Structure 1
Amino acid sequence: MTPRHPALARAEAFAQSYGLRRPLLLAPMAGACPPALSVAVMRAGGLGACGALLMQPAAILAWAEAVRAAGPFQINLWIPDPAPVRDPGHEARLRTFLGGFGPAVAPKAGDATPPDFFAQCEAVIEARPRIVSSIMGLYPPDIVARFKASGIAWWATVTTVAEALAAEAAGADAVVAQGAEAGGHRGSFDPAKAELAAIGLMALLPAVVDAVRIPVIATGGIADARGAAAALLLGASAVQVGTGFLRCPEAGISAPWADALGRARPEDTRLTRAFSGRAGRSLATEYVAAAAAPDAPAPAPYPVQRGLTQAMREAAAKAGDLARMQAWAGQAAGLAQAVRAGEVLGGIWREVEETLG
């Protein structure tokens, strides 16, 4: 019998340690992880995921109960930033600018705040997912201790080797190495360095694997078996896919966004702070381009910018207007398939086995 390729053996052992049949994970995408998508991924042998950034505790618990019977899943939370420095005059200019792309922006729109982080942590402990993951930093030591006492593993999203080492020292059970190709928000611990440290996955991954002793999960720009196999060969113990699942019917995103993902080339995406104030990769839409123009007001810090753009984002979603829509997209968006999620996951893994077997 031919020995199993070491990369496959490592990945399969990691998957089995978390009760998975396949080392393929759904990325926890806030606002784009409905229970139906996770259940489909879980039934195909992968890991379900919830991006809980904007969810109140009751919603987190309801999501967990909706998927629990299908298998293991992760819940992801953002580590809060310090309170933003506000500039009323600049925010007024932003409201005027944004009013040109949607409804008039209310004077107090920038006052919107995310749900209470510690209340969300309490909900996660009550929900008892197999894994809790973090982005934008590290959980406080007392929260980490409570997670582990509850049997919940912690995976930390990192974008640099220094962040990976810090996560390992803080007790993370694995790190998720997020390449700059990833769609959605950059996971940088320091928001000011998100664009400066935009390291591609193929450079970041082996450096992180060499630096830490805990398992490394690869994410960013992976949407087919070629990317997954490459990540495993570079030392990853599992692969996390986000944009590659967004065109699946279970994701439920709008048709204009889904269709645009299928047409997108890597150069049709760009990093922008124009939606939330935090750097994230989206399709290079008309609004994103206008917000980057030299004469446009700079985005406000997170979460002020998110509040200021809420009316525009909601109006664009209602109208199906891609030009103003918050359309997150990784650089491999064009590889995403408009087929069921189980078919995507199964096809990726079969081809990985064929490639490395």
Structure 2
Amino acid sequence: MSRLLSDLGVELPVLAAPMAGGGTTPDLVVAAARAGSMGFLAAGYKSAQLLAEQMRTVREQDVLYGVNVFAPNPVPVSFDAYSRYARTVQAEADRYGLRLSDSVPKEDDDDWSAKVDLLAESPVPWVSFTFGIPDSTVVRALRRAGSRVLQSVTTVEEARLAVEAGADALVVQGPAAGGHSATLTPDRPIVPVSLPDLVAQIHGAVTLPLVAAGGIGTSADVAAALQAGAEATMVGTLLLRTDESGASAPHQRALADPSFDTTVLTRAFTGRPARGLRNAFIDRYESSAPAGYPAVHHLTAPLRKAAAEAGDQDLMHLWAGTAYRGAEQEPTERTLRRLTGGL
């Protein structure tokens, strides 16, 4: 068993990734743990109070788990660029009786301080961060509380910064990952690179244990990442159709629908690069979407919610990594065991 898996206290070299926005549920996290893996509650887009409730739910099941937090790394958007985009997408909002074109940019930090305070007061085995690298004082406080810290990185440079901040291990996220990229520079293009190559690059540059994530769909993908230098892997998209998933019904249907035949990186929904199934909204608005997170996320959120409730797959975000065809309707345990078969 690798040092990291021993530290984690888990058997399987495939962990359950945090999926903010509803995909990850307490039931999914518990199911992963009972399969010999470990899952991460997604703190993103929820209040510290709701996160605390979900932590209590999982803790009551006496299983190992982690919590993933969005570390502040805002991409400000000018009022003019924001207003121009708001007026552009208003045509879609009209059908749901929503008024977006009069809104003003909302810049927030996703309840950052309250979540850090919660995790310091009610420590969990692992805390992971994405979008930004927290100050070393935050890392030290969490470690004093008894947590170990995972930092998501997408380049060698980011890995070195995470080492300087005091991270215990790194999640190496390749560009094939579904949902938001963990990049620290979301206003710059994402550089194409295979996950094994990225793992090998970072493995050669730092000494921290690595968890490989992004585009993993088969046991062969897991094996390739481990061979490149990772001590474990992490999957998210493949769990979106499991029995314990909280992904919406339209999202789950789209993952198995042959008419959705490719994924693309887009900032049309949130102003930050994220990979999802290509649909009409992306085709119409990717070219005009400004970089601007979280303001653009807040702008389109009511439209995406209304579209999801109406089952309108053309106007909602359908986050998915490139291996989305491997997502099956089955228990989480079966998916995780399937990915580790033969290892």
TM bracket (short chain): over 0.9
Give SS of 1:110's match. Answer: coil
- 1:165-185 deviation line (CA, Å, top 9, x unaligned): 111122111111000000011
1:56-205 mapped onto 2 (5 Å cutoff): 56-68=47-59, 69-82=61-74, 84-87=76-79, 89-102=80-93, 103-105=98-100, 107-108=102-103, 110-111=105-106, 113-193=108-188, 195-205=189-199
| Stretch of structure 1 that moved more, 104-113 or 31-40 | 104-113
2:306 paired with 1:315:
yes
What TM-score, normalized by structure 1, do the two folds share?
0.89
2:13 paired with 1:18:
no
Tell whether the 8 Å contact from 1:267 to 1:331 is kept in structure 2 after alignment. Answer: no
Distance 2:260 2:156 in 1: 25
2:293 paired with 1:298:
no
Look up the equivalent residue of 1:327 and give its one-letter code. Answer: L
- 1:114-141 deviation line (CA, Å, top 9, x unaligned): 4321111111222311111111221111
- Segments of 5+ residues of structure 2 without an aligned counterpart are none
- 1:81-130 deviation line (CA, Å, top 9, x unaligned): 2472432x333322222222223316235326343211111112223111
Tell whether the 8 Å contact from 2:272 to 2:291 is kept in structure 1 after alignment. Answer: no
Give how far 1:48 is off: 1.4
Distance 1:95 1:240 in 2: 36
Look up the equivalent residue of 2:267 and give its one-letter code. Answer: R
- 1:204-234 deviation line (CA, Å, top 9, x unaligned): 0111111111101000001221111111111
Identity of aligned residues (%): 33
Tell whether the 8 Å contact from 2:158 to 2:184 is kept in structure 1 after alignment. Answer: yes
1:32-47 mapped onto 2 (5 Å cutoff): 32-47=23-38
Distance 1:327 1:70, change over 3 A: farther
Distance 2:198 2:42 in 1: 23
Distance 1:266 1:205, change over 3 A: farther
Tell whether the 8 Å contact from 2:83 to 2:104 is kept in structure 1 after alignment. Answer: no
Distance 1:113 1:153, change over 3 A: same
Distance 1:264 1:169 in 2: 45
2:318 paired with 1:327:
yes
Give SS of 1:101's match. Answer: helix
2:31 paired with 1:48:
no
Distance 1:162 1:333 in 2: 29
Give SS of 2:322's match. Answer: coil
Tell whether the 8 Å contact from 1:26 to 1:48 is kept in structure 2 after alignment. Answer: yes
Give SS of 1:345's match. Answer: helix
2:338 paired with 1:338:
no
Distance 2:191 2:258 in 1: 24
Distance 1:305 1:149 in 2: 36
Q: Provide the alpha-carbon RMSD of the alignment.
A: 1.9
Tell whether the 8 Å contact from 2:75 to 2:291 is kept in structure 1 after alignment. Answer: no
Tell me the residue number matched to 1:212: 206
Equivalent of 1:230 in 216, 224, 236? 224
Look up the equivalent residue of 2:141 and give its one-letter code. Answer: R
Look up the equivalent residue of 1:179 and give its one-letter code. Answer: G
Give how far 1:264 is off: 6.2
Give SS of 1:191's match. Answer: coil
Tell whether the 8 Å contact from 2:195 to 2:213 is kept in structure 1 after alignment. Answer: yes
Runs of 4+ in 1 over 6 A off after TM superposition: 264-267
| Stretch of structure 1 that moved more, 214-223 or 114-123 | 114-123
Tell me the residue number matched to 1:6: none
What TM-score, normalized by structure 2, do the two folds share?
0.93
- 1:291-324 deviation line (CA, Å, top 9, x unaligned): 124xxx3335111101110221111111011111
Q: Which has the higher helix share?
A: 1
Look up the equivalent residue of 2:125 and give its one-letter code. Answer: R
Tell whether the 8 Å contact from 2:75 to 2:292 is kept in structure 1 after alignment. Answer: no
Tell whether the 8 Å contact from 2:123 to 2:145 is kept in structure 1 after alignment. Answer: yes
Tell me the residue number matched to 1:249: 243
Tell whether the 8 Å contact from 1:266 to 1:332 is kept in structure 2 after alignment. Answer: no
Give how far 1:263 is off: 4.1
Give how far 1:24 is off: 1.7
Give how far 1:252 is off: 2.6
Tell whether the 8 Å contact from 1:263 to 1:334 is kept in structure 2 after alignment. Answer: no
Tell whether the 8 Å contact from 2:68 to 2:127 is kept in structure 1 after alignment. Answer: yes
Distance 2:27 2:273 in 1: 28
Distance 1:266 1:187, change over 3 A: farther
| Stretch of structure 1 that moved more, 131-140 or 251-260 | 251-260
Tell whether the 8 Å contact from 2:211 to 2:232 is kept in structure 1 after alignment. Answer: yes
Give SS of 1:211's match. Answer: coil
